[in-house]
Amino acid sequence: MTARDQAVAALKERLSHTFSDEALLERALTHASGTTRATAGGNNERLEFLGDRVLGLVIAHVLYERHDDVPEGELARMLNAMVRRAMCTKVAERLDIGPALKLAGKGKKRTELTDNILGDACEALIGAIYLDGGLEAAGRFIREHWKDALKQAPELRKDAKTALQEWAAQRSFDTPAYEIIEQSGPDHAPEFTVRLTVQGRKPETGVAGSRRMAEQNAAEAFLIREKIWK
C-alpha cells in the first residue's frame, strides 16, 4: 500500500459518509495535474463546480433557519463568509486531505500543494458526496464540518473590511491600508497577495483569486489574530 493509499484510507475514516461508488471519491481527490489530457475528465474540476453550488445551498438553508430575524443583505454577507475559498481550505486542512490528493510528480517534483488546490478539493469532495448519497448526505457532511464557523456566523454580518475600518475609526487610527505585494498565476486564474497595514499593529496578509477577496481575507485574518473576531 502506497503512502497515498494509506492517506485515502485514513481520510475515509474521518468523513461522515461511506461511499457506495468509490470512483467518485477518487475523482474528487484527483487534481487536474494528476491526469493526462486523455483522461482529463477524471479530475475533480467538474465536481468542484457542483460542490460549490451544493455548499452554498446547504449553508444558505442553515442560515435561513437559524437567523429568522436577519435581513437578506446580512444573510448574504454571512453566506459569503461561510462559502469562500479560505473556509473550504480550513476544512480541507482539518480533514488532512492533502496527502490523499493525486497530484503530478513525486517527492520534491510533486505539484505544490496550495490553498487553492485544497479548497477546490474540499468542494469537489462535497460534490462527490452529493452524487453518491444525495443532498441529505452532503448536508450532513457540511453541517458537521462547518459547525464551528456557523456558530460564529452572527459576527460576520458585516464584511471584514467594514468591521476593521469601524474598529480603527473608533480608536482614531488611520484608515487601514491595503497593498498588492504579489500577483501570480495565469490570466484566467490569478492569485493576489495583499498586505494590510493598521496603525500601531503588525501587518497581515491575505491571498485570493481577486484583489477584493484578498483584502477581505487579510482583514479577517487581522480581526481574528487581534481577537476582535473569534
What mean pLDDT, rounded, does the chain reach?
A: 88
Instruction: Give 69-78 pLDDT, tens digit per residue.
Output: 888 877 887 8
Residue 133 pLDDT: 96
Q: Give the integer Cα–Cα distance in Å for 47 and 43.
A: 8
Residues recorded for the chain: 230
The number of CA neighbours under 13 Å toward the Cβ of 164 is 27
C-alpha torsion angle, residues 228, 167, 221, 146 (rounded to 10): 60
Instruction: Give 125-176 pLDDT, tens digit per residue.
Output: 999 999 999 999 999 999 999 998 898 887 766 678 988 998 899 899 999 9
Residue % of the chain over a pLDDT of 70: 91
Residue 34 pLDDT: 66
Instruction: Give 86-132 pLDDT, tens digit per residue.
Output: 889 999 999 999 999 998 756 555 667 888 899 999 999 999 999 99
Residue 136 pLDDT: 96
Residue 38 pLDDT: 44
Q: Which residue of the set 123, 204, 215, 220 is catalytic?
A: 123
Q: How far from each other are the two terminal CA atoms of the chain, in whole angstroms? A: 41
Cβ atoms 198, 216 nearer than 8 A: no
Contacts of 212 (CB under 8 A, 6+ apart): none
CATH number for 3-156: choose from 3.30.360.10, 3.50.50.60, 1.20.1250.20, 1.10.1520.10: 1.10.1520.10
Given a cut of 50, whether residue 216 has pLDDT beyond it is yes
Cβ atoms 165, 222 nearer than 8 A: no
Q: Give the integer Cα–Cα distance in Å for 128 and 112.
A: 23
Residue 158 pLDDT: 67
123 given a catalytic annotation: yes
Q: Which residue of the set 52, 115, 120, 204 is catalytic?
A: 52
Q: 160-225: which CATH topology?
A: Double Stranded RNA Binding Domain (3.30.160)
Q: Domain extents for the chain?
A: 3-156, 160-225
Residue where the block lists cell 457532511: 141
Residue where the block lists cell 492569485: 191
Confidence of residue 62 (pLDDT cuts 50, 70, 90): very high
Tell me the residue type at 200.
Answer: G
Instruction: Give 181-193 pLDDT, tens digit per residue.
Output: 999 888 877 899 9
52 given a catalytic annotation: yes
Q: Give the integer Cα–Cα distance in Å for 153 and 160.
A: 12
Residue where the block lists cell 458526496: 129
